[in-house]
Structure 1
């Protein structure tokens, strides 16, 4: 028999004796591989579905969009079908209940969508809507919220429409968009009669085109792009929508894959820990083989062969489980998906998962396996592993380097950039390093400073944390990182919700009335005051566009070098500005000073938000030419303000001085505060009834909507974090089972020396209590650090500790550890010592 055959035979023979333990070694990676394969399969299927349903996403071959009527186009004669739409945010009222709601009104004319359809309940509602008349389709979510039935009425502006059906699906519509901006469709022929199309309304005009199948839309529109850009007309084609949607969900898939990869890395830490225990138990057998003349290389290959085989089996099991899990993911992510996702086996994802699983399990197993190379024949006489330290072994550092390189390359494959990959890898290394430091520091502290005055059960339980075959570091690393992920989610979610709960804060307004025409200001102010509400702010708003900056228009700016080119966003956006000669509570002056415009000969000095200036390249003294409803207006940057946009107020990027824009077309905003949600609803309904063109933002409702959205997002993240938690639990179970025999011998020794079952049980319970506490507290500590960094560097809001959630997580993780430890050791306590000794001999 050749040497390779003999190695496989020895590996198989040893496997039959230790198959239970070896299966436990690789069981830790099953969950991580399952998550990786599930997400990869889901991502592959999503990309295919976006590609196949791209036309249904857009609903047309070409969409043109502008904030004013688009007018006739050369393409009109080429298209085989056209449709048009004007949409705007407005209040609608439901006469049946007397309630009102801010919605997105879409006034539609034509057969849009040309691909796909408006899914309604009943199905005939779409056909009834197309026939014309004062009929409406209302978002199903909205109908459920206000108990609206088919046949009821909805008031849009000055007109009342009959609700002929509930809108369930529309091109590009998702559950999240329905929550944020519910839609009401009405026929475009009645749009003007509603009285809502007037100055101050944020209008979007849409033209939808369908071309013959043989027409290449991208080639067709190329000659018109420059003209459309000049006229601020945005175009959207099937290819652009497909690419944009694909990129968005590819980013989501990559993020979720990274979360799954973290779960896999946790499992690999469990593999390394389990293999370490396995190697310690095999050292005598390895020493015997060395005495028989087997080289250290061959003995190493025997056990490496076992690990490779088990890694393959574990990866295959994870791939099968992940393929099954992907059938659940469309339901988990359904609120966020614009297409209907099909499920099926993605062989590329399966192969990717299996290859990844084998590589990482072998890489992490190599660290403890290398001890086998150092076993001398003399260990048969002196069975001690103290001399097998790998601290000075260069191969150990080579393996650690390979692990780091693998994590970096894997991250790069998912993220597509070395900078992002390095950041993620540094995070993983930092998290593991911090948890390893905590575990090592605790073990060292207990060994060095354990008081002899403690009661014996407590002292014994603490000592078990650093005795041979302990799993302290691996469990703190795995369970701690899983706990950190779920804890950080809860903490950040609470921080975000706390920032948006404006309605619960004193001195913070919670109701905004906007789209108020100048002729209505006095009446609306009086109506609000008659309700007993304060007028906290009344602000005029003027709409304008930026034409030139320092004499450079949009096309000239595009030709400049990167060093001097301004942001394209300056020319593309529509500015809404106000005018006053003083700052408000949400502003502070950081550079320059506010100027008062006194006569026609003065220069007009405007104030710009510092953050916006930094992002776009605006500098002090820049000459800016604005287009104010067709009239050019030259201004200069005279100051920078720091604006707190998180505070509920009329905050603006650009602030004009008084005596400049008073005669310009404008609308007004009035801000007030109600005491209760019911008062807010009553005031809103009465104002909308008397002034149908006015829109109302009820911040209490906004908070409810944000809570709903954050709840959906957190559910998705919790679902993914569950893989990490399950991996940590599986590692915990495996570690407890692996160390069972070591603990069994210690318990037998204690029982033989006269310790009662109660004492032994108390020692085991305390040991697992300390272990669970250390793991959960380490994870919570890491999550506190992550939350603090996110609060300061990302979200820029005051830090608030969620000690209540932290306590719940601590109790849950610690309780689970104690329960599993008790279940693992109960057989030892209920049997006589001699019986157990005979069964393990």
Structure 2
């Protein structure tokens, strides 16, 4: 019976199925991608690091740290630092990440170079491996030379890949690999230089890395060094991408929910049209269970087919993610198809279809044989308690599925509540709009406009589900654009002539005046000339940092205890900071404790307040200070900001280096400045902020594509729900058309009525979605990003009219058959 009835309603059931196909495809593609990612990380755990474990430190190892490092007998080591390099061939200059390596690193994986032999020969030949993209940018070939600091070396080959590197970091500071024995000759590792030492180990199979980490990590931690094993590092990488996968899964789940709501609404109308047939079946002896199962089989069948088709599409789609996320991945992702996500997709298709169709299917259970004579809106209503029970089951299942995705009960509850709130707001607006029309019906409007408004609350209307479908898709994609603008609002450095876009680092005291002179000779302003003094915390509140490290109950964040602070001294506040607690002291007294000002985040993480004592170690000299003020710092401004600021009159004679900033108008001036400074002062590093912002914007654009991709699922699902709703109520519209035409209405008027109706639906759904996105983005800007809210106009000028036109086009696509139906056709159908 289910099969016979399904054949008669196959077009409608196919549209039901289409509603969940996209949601299943999204879930399966992301599940497959996540599974492949975890498998690849597990399989390439050693290759990602290039060694079994690494000891790293951001300064010259202390004697104790060096003793531990040597006792473990490193197989290779390196020093890495940022530096400007130049290419004599064309006088080009570039900020790079220099890696001076000694030993046969990597032990796992390989250096991918062109020519291939350069990966091993560069050490013995004394050559340098240069990032392949950088070589293309400056038109370099193997055999050309590169100037690093005070020495010039031949380029052995182009470097395409090295363990521990990714495309994002390479785009800001491309890697340049050189033999370690030449590092000292560059004369680049001067006071204040940002450098990192790494020692690589290839362990025997019998070594227990976890036990080693437990026994050595704490001792290294006290010496400002860290030990990372390949297992712990890959676990961190896995967790990082696991969070991305969870986000994408939730976005896919929303698209699936949207399709399920479309199924619930369509099944509701479908079952209402079948009530008379069900009553006849019961007159012929069919039981409640039989009539219920007939339609349950239909819904389960379309859920199964939808799951299968969606899973097949998902298998194809998952191949796109590695392409768009490759710059975020530190390795090449190998795609394979596993059975589990496909099985989940099929099960999910059946389960979600039946779950959301359960509420409307309950009506088949409560149809009585007497209803064959009097089927109406109230003729077969299930008890309210049963309805609430089924609704509770739906909520529990949603919570369990979300818990499976997030592995966090609190986040799952928040997500379910947020989803319910969004759906409730959209549905509430639709219901409120209908009630508003009923109460304040425009009786004096033109006939076609009045009739189109009446259609919004006619029997079998789909106003609520369409507003929810259209609104949710618009909400997702509009939120993307609003939040993207929040993130990019600070990256436009061209709006103000006061903003610096070139930062010159590591300027030594004896070079400061000469660098200023070089900048001024090119007609450029020196916007900032800031002295930096490096130091570490020796004690907090009269408690030694080493003692705090060993305290498991400490309230101080770990990074505070290991951080090398770059501080400055001045007598005034900058434009990007204001005092929120205490008093600013710009000039130190000759006696007593030194007053300092700290940032809010430092005060919070170090558990410091006004009057607390902090002792700093400045190159072996201890300075006793007292927190006199706490500052709120706008870290997003393109300006140098500091967590710790000393007053003038304290650090002037301390070992220090300077940072200068200027502003250039175009790439030509920037290139000339960099060439001049690098030629005169090889130790100086120059950061072109415009290039960094270009990279940031490119990253955000790629993230935006992924989010757009997920929003597209919701929009397209909403369109399919719309098509299904139009098809579902097609016969009802034919009857209305016949009645209107019998009363004298013309085809043009019927067309206008439908066009106005769908225009109202499209405008209402998309406008509510955009307004909800505007509100949510405002709260994100204020509370999450702490940025001024500057919304994009794209949702208003593109999405609002675009989605409205799309809804009208889909609605009118079904009108042709309505216009071609004669009154006699309907009378015959009723007679049959």
Q: TM exceeds 0.5?
A: yes
Tell me which of 635, 640, 648 is aligned to 2:630. 640
SS at 1:283's partner residue? helix
Give deviations 1:270-317, integer Å, cap 9, x for gaps.
111110110111111122233344444443333223222322222222
Distance 1:476 1:510 in 2: 47
SS at 2:641's partner residue? coil
Confirm or deny that 1:196 pairs with 2:204.
Answer: no
Tell me which of 113, 119, 132 is aligned to 2:112. 119
Task: Within 5 Å, give how 1:512-551 maps onto structure 2.
Answer: 512-551=503-542
Query: Which residue matches 1:205?
Result: 197
Distance 1:182 1:406 in 2: 49
CA contact (8 A) 2:76 2:102 kept: yes
Confirm or deny that 1:717 pairs with 2:707.
Answer: yes
1:205 offset after TM fit, Å? 0.9
Query: Which residue matches 1:362?
Result: 354
Query: Which residue matches 2:429?
Result: 438
Give deviations 1:568-598, integer Å, cap 9, x for gaps.
2210111110012221211211222233565
Task: Within 5 Å, give how 1:78-93 maps onto structure 2.
Answer: 79=73, 82-93=75-86
CA contact (8 A) 2:130 2:158 kept: yes
Query: Which residue matches 1:379?
Result: 371
1:400 offset after TM fit, Å? 1.7
Confirm or deny that 1:503 pairs with 2:461.
Answer: no
Which range is displaced more, 35-44 or 272-281? Answer: 35-44
Query: Which residue matches 1:826?
Result: 816
Query: Which residue matches 2:562?
Result: 572
- Provide the TM-score with structure 2 as the length reference: 0.95
Query: Which residue matches 1:686?
Result: 676
- Provide the TM-score with structure 1 as the length reference: 0.94
Query: Which residue matches 1:61?
Result: 52
Tell me which of 634, 652, 656 is aligned to 1:662. 652
Distance 2:650 2:549 in 1: 31
What are the ranges of 5 or more consecutive residues in structure 1 without an aligned counterpart?
1-9
Distance 2:102 2:15 in 1: 64
1:18 offset after TM fit, Å? 2.3
SS at 2:84's partner residue? strand
Distance 1:478 1:616 in 2: 48
Tell me which of 101, 125, 134 is aligned to 1:142. 134
CA contact (8 A) 1:607 1:638 kept: yes
SS at 1:86's partner residue? strand
1:380 offset after TM fit, Å? 2.2
SS at 1:499's partner residue? coil
Confirm or deny that 1:398 pairs with 2:363.
Answer: no
- 1:791–1:221: structure 2 CA closer, same or farther, 3 Å change rule? closer
SS at 2:125's partner residue? coil
1:561 offset after TM fit, Å? 6.5
- 1:662–1:410: structure 2 CA closer, same or farther, 3 Å change rule? same
Distance 1:455 1:121 in 2: 75
Query: Which residue matches 1:792?
Result: 782
What are the ranges of 5 or more consecutive residues in structure 2 without an aligned counterpart?
none
1:74 offset after TM fit, Å? 5.3
Confirm or deny that 1:333 pairs with 2:325.
Answer: yes
Query: Which residue matches 1:13?
Result: 4
Query: Which residue matches 1:488?
Result: 479
SS at 2:574's partner residue? coil
Which range is displaced more, 450-459 or 44-53? Answer: 450-459
SS at 1:265's partner residue? helix
Distance 1:340 1:838 in 2: 65
Query: Which residue matches 2:793?
Result: 803
Confirm or deny that 1:603 pairs with 2:593.
Answer: yes
SS at 1:50's partner residue? helix
Query: Which residue matches 2:16?
Result: 25
Which range is displaced more, 598-607 or 272-281? Answer: 598-607
1:109 offset after TM fit, Å? 1.9
Query: Which residue matches 1:186?
Result: 178
Confirm or deny that 1:625 pairs with 2:615.
Answer: yes
- 1:736–1:176: structure 2 CA closer, same or farther, 3 Å change rule? farther
Distance 1:760 1:147 in 2: 67
1:838 offset after TM fit, Å? 5.5
- 1:94–1:754: structure 2 CA closer, same or farther, 3 Å change rule? farther
- 1:759–1:42: structure 2 CA closer, same or farther, 3 Å change rule? same
CA contact (8 A) 1:100 1:685 kept: yes
Query: Which residue matches 1:108?
Result: 101
SS at 2:530's partner residue? strand
Query: Which residue matches 2:769?
Result: 779
Query: Which residue matches 1:318?
Result: 310
Query: Which residue matches 1:696?
Result: 686
CA contact (8 A) 1:37 1:323 kept: yes
Give deviations 1:99-158, integer Å, cap 9, x for gaps.
32222111222211110011123323323423332x322223333444444444433223
Which range is displaced more, 46-55 or 188-197? Answer: 188-197
Distance 1:476 1:35 in 2: 22
SS at 2:391's partner residue? helix
Confirm or deny that 1:99 pairs with 2:92.
Answer: yes
Query: Which residue matches 1:301?
Result: 293
Query: Which residue matches 2:604?
Result: 614
CA-based RMSD: 2.3
Distance 2:275 2:777 in 1: 45
SS at 1:131's partner residue? helix
Distance 2:341 2:546 in 1: 45
Tell me which of 761, 767, 772 is aligned to 2:757. 767
CA contact (8 A) 1:63 1:235 kept: yes
SS at 1:307's partner residue? helix
Which range is displaced more, 784-793 or 90-99? Answer: 90-99
Distance 2:161 2:391 in 1: 51
Give deviations 1:713-746, integer Å, cap 9, x for gaps.
1122222222222222222222222222222222
Query: Which residue matches 1:3?
Result: none
Distance 1:466 1:94 in 2: 73
Query: Which residue matches 1:5?
Result: none
Query: Which residue matches 1:270?
Result: 262
Give deviations 1:340-366, integer Å, cap 9, x for gaps.
323333222223233333222222111
Task: Within 5 Å, give how 1:386-425 maps onto structure 2.
Answer: 386-388=378-380, 393-425=384-416
SS at 1:85's partner residue? strand
Query: Which residue matches 1:7?
Result: none
CA contact (8 A) 1:25 1:270 kept: yes
1:405 offset after TM fit, Å? 1.6
SS at 1:155's partner residue? strand
Distance 1:585 1:381 in 2: 80
CA contact (8 A) 1:588 1:642 kept: yes
1:678 offset after TM fit, Å? 3.7
Query: Which residue matches 1:251?
Result: 243
Give deviations 1:536-561, integer Å, cap 9, x for gaps.
22110011111211232344324546
CA contact (8 A) 1:476 1:774 kept: yes
Which range is displaced more, 795-804 or 513-522? Answer: 795-804
Distance 1:465 1:161 in 2: 77
- 1:464–1:617: structure 2 CA closer, same or farther, 3 Å change rule? same
CA contact (8 A) 1:597 1:603 kept: no
CA contact (8 A) 1:828 1:836 kept: no
Distance 2:93 2:556 in 1: 43
Query: Which residue matches 2:122?
Result: 129
Distance 1:737 1:180 in 2: 54
Distance 1:303 1:159 in 2: 81
1:267 offset after TM fit, Å? 0.7
Distance 2:550 2:198 in 1: 30
